[in-house]
Amino acid sequence: MAPIIQIKNVHKRFGSVHALRGVSLDVERGEVVVIIGPSGSGKSTLLRCINRLEEFNEGSIVVDGIPLDTAENINAVRTEVGMVFQQFNLFPHLSVMDNITLAQRIIRKRDKAEADEIAIQLLNKVGIPEKAKALPGQLSGGQQQRVAIARALAMNPKIMLFDEPTSALDPEMIQEVLDVMMNLAQEGMTMVVVSHEMGFARAAANRAILMDSGQIVEEAPPNVLFTNPTQERTKEFLSRVL
């Protein structure tokens, strides 16, 4: 079967900044890919191109057989691709429950009872069923991020994108979010994760990728990349992070 994500020679410019310089990457179904790299290397930009939150200037991206070109196709892709943000981006005016059911009801056209049932299942899955009626502002960062994951999963996505999901969290809350992600990976979800959590990468990822200056520098299984990198740039970066 064709790779579920096919990125071919994508370029992205922000004014004079050349953020992505011809990135090509295929992700197979069920694969977990972790992208690392210094800030400004284009890793988040690449991730945001996959569901077209960021437009790209050249190249092509095909997700599950749908090319990202027309507005219709972009929306179709977005309903298949869940995204989790560094800043959670829960809707602060809605309860946890409504956060998870809103898109189900208006996009998936599920009725309230069905959407609620799915939301409760997912809250159980991420371990905070008791917070269904709370507002996002009443939750800790780790809880908010788990709700954000549940919100994305409620759309039954085929792919999940994680944009530095633990970077805005206090250290003691990181693990609870990583545990949820680990479970997802074990269930066979296709995941693209921008994160420097090496422990997660080693345990869950099939592939780790180092990006720098808008290009993919090196890609290998995480154990190989972290312990025996071939590129000088990778060694240099890892020596600073690890």
Partner 1 sequence: MDLQEKKKTETAPASAGADSKGYFDPWWWLVFAVIGMIILLITTRPDPFMRILLFVRDGIGVTIQTTIISFFLVLIVGLIAALGRISRSRILSGIATVYVEIVRGIPLLVQLLFWYFAFPSVIQGIGSALNIEALKNYLANPVGMAILGITFCYAAYMSEIYRAGIQSISKGQMEAARSLGMSYVQAMRYVILPQAVRVILPPVGNEFISILKDSSLVSVVAVADMTRRGREFMAANFIPVETWSMIALLYLVMTLLAARLVTFIERKSRLER
Which residues are near partner 1 by CB under 8 A? 51, 53, 75, 78-79, 81-83, 85, 87-93, 102-103, 106-107, 135-137, 144, 148, 151-152, 155
Rounded Cα distance between 139 and 122, Å, is: 17
Report the residue number, 160 or 185, with the smaller CB distance to partner 1: 160
Report the residue number, 42 or 229, with the smaller CB distance to partner 1: 42
As given in the structure block, the two tokens for residue 15 are 């004014």
End-to-end Cα separation, the chain, in angstroms = 37
Task: Write the CA distances from 46 to 22, 98, 216, integer angstroms.
Answer: 11, 30, 10
- Nearest approach, Cβ of residue 106 and partner 1 (Å): 6
Rounded Cα distance between 173 and 144, Å, is: 10
- Nearest approach, Cβ of residue 9 and partner 1 (Å): 24
Report the residue number, 136 or 165, with the smaller CB distance to partner 1: 136
Q: What burial class does residue 112 get, using C-beta atoms within 10 Å of its C-beta: 0-12 exposed, 13-18 middle, 19+ buried?
A: exposed
- Nearest approach, Cβ of residue 186 and partner 1 (Å): 24
Rounded Cα distance between 216 and 139, Å, is: 37
Report the residue number, 82 or 229, with the smaller CB distance to partner 1: 82
As given in the structure block, the two tokens for residue 92 are 């602060």
- Nearest approach, Cβ of residue 223 and partner 1 (Å): 31
- Nearest approach, Cβ of residue 95 and partner 1 (Å): 11
Sheet holding 32-36, edge to edge: 81-84, 159-163, 190-194, 32-36, 207-212, 215-220
Report the residue number, 44 or 234, with the smaller CB distance to partner 1: 44
As given in the structure block, the two tokens for residue 69 are 């070109």
